[in-house]
Chains A and B, each alone.
Chain A
């Protein structure tokens, strides 16, 4: 997927009439990356959810243009890979099942074979635990599995909320590799508290 451009225009979000943030604007296209920073409670997680189009803004709009054409909801969903502490997996299924079942539900994606899934799990160093139930996973392992899930359909946009939460050094190295690959071929949007992670991106916007 080439020529994807995301525009965020005048986005404001209120909960029960309390403003979380006001008038956020940015634009990003293929091969670029942006970090969203700000203190706790500044609405970083809310903003990335709005950018991923799973939450509607109170005012303003988010649009995905594919080769200049405004993308439909299906196109948008297929373009996005999303990792967040708010994203949860199914405890009663194994790592392999989580990735395979959820990919079956995803529209327009080619059916993932077991071999493909195993390859993706290998990438996040979970291959040896692929048949274990997620119930027994540590929080760091769950975080890695979220990466496997988000990358399984080779998304054009990767949206990461607190990318290294719960991860050890080895996990952080895996994430760095994923981030590097993503910035080469697509778009990276990253919400974080850490200046070090924000420095992975070309640009930074700060929420108050």
Chain B
């Protein structure tokens, strides 16, 4: 876990320095210059932060749901503890992704919030997990709290495919890859728009944020276990 901690700190520091310091150039030469992406320019640097945060959010919520299911099958309260720790982190990264996204939207699309399909989806995620925590605080018996919140997370998860298929038909998209996008090429990093060095830095950042998640999750689980043992023995 020590290596995970230092790895996360080193990588994210590196990404912050490299992502912000490497200059843009209309005709990039070598590794130390980024290309100018028309329409994004300097704002493109946010891709190293906003997108990995959003991905980490998804990872954290998937881990939370996975441990929720394991709790339901085994009734071991320790799984619930892992599930709720991961859900809390997912919520944290979700807020970070929403805020970085809103700023990006302000400077690229003109306003902080546009109800683009992905903005709507992340808003729904925030709603679902706010509801999840509200539900948990309203149930006194631990076993019941664990089971009911896990069931709710799964039921809410069942609607995800509908958001993927229904939303784009209902709302005009602004994110790259959405219906009506000029180039119609998938998300930025899949299309040919990212230079190799940007792509490498993006994946490095992705690794960094996931390491940060793993370290924080470990920390939260350990403190939660200590708290539990403290209150049981008291």
User: Which residues from chain A sit less than 8 Å from chain B, CB to CB?
Assistant: 15-17, 56, 58
Contacts and interface: CB of A to CB of B under 8 A. Distances in A.
Contacts of B169: none
Interface string B138-149: 001111000000
Chain B CB within 10 Å, residue with most, of A15, A16, A56, A58: A16
A15 B141 contact: yes
Please provide the 4 A-B residue pairs with the shortest distance between their CB atoms, ordered closest to farther: A17-B232, A16-B142, A15-B141, A16-B141
A56 B75 contact: yes
Contacts of B75: 56, 58
A178 to B, nearest CB: 34
Interface residues of B, number: 8
11 contacts: A15-B141, A15-B143, A16-B140, A16-B141, A16-B142, A17-B77, A17-B142, A17-B228, A17-B232, A56-B75, A58-B75
A13 to B, nearest CB: 10
**Which secondary structure characterizes the binding site on chain A?**
loop
A112 B5 CA distance: 68
Nearest to A14: B143
A16 B228 CA distance: 10
A78 B224 CA distance: 43
A125 B27 CA distance: 98
Contacts of B143: 15
A16 B142 CA distance: 5
A56 to B, nearest CB: 7
B188 to A, nearest CB: 49
B195 to A, nearest CB: 55
Of A15, A17, A56, A58, which is in contact with the most chain B CB atoms at under 10 Å from its CB? A17
A114 to B, nearest CB: 40
Interface in B61-75: 75
A56 B146 CA distance: 15
Nearest to B75: A56
A56 B141 CA distance: 14
B230 to A, nearest CB: 12
Given A17-B142, A58-B75, 9 more contacts: A15-B141, A15-B143, A16-B140, A16-B141, A16-B142, A17-B77, A17-B228, A17-B232, A56-B75
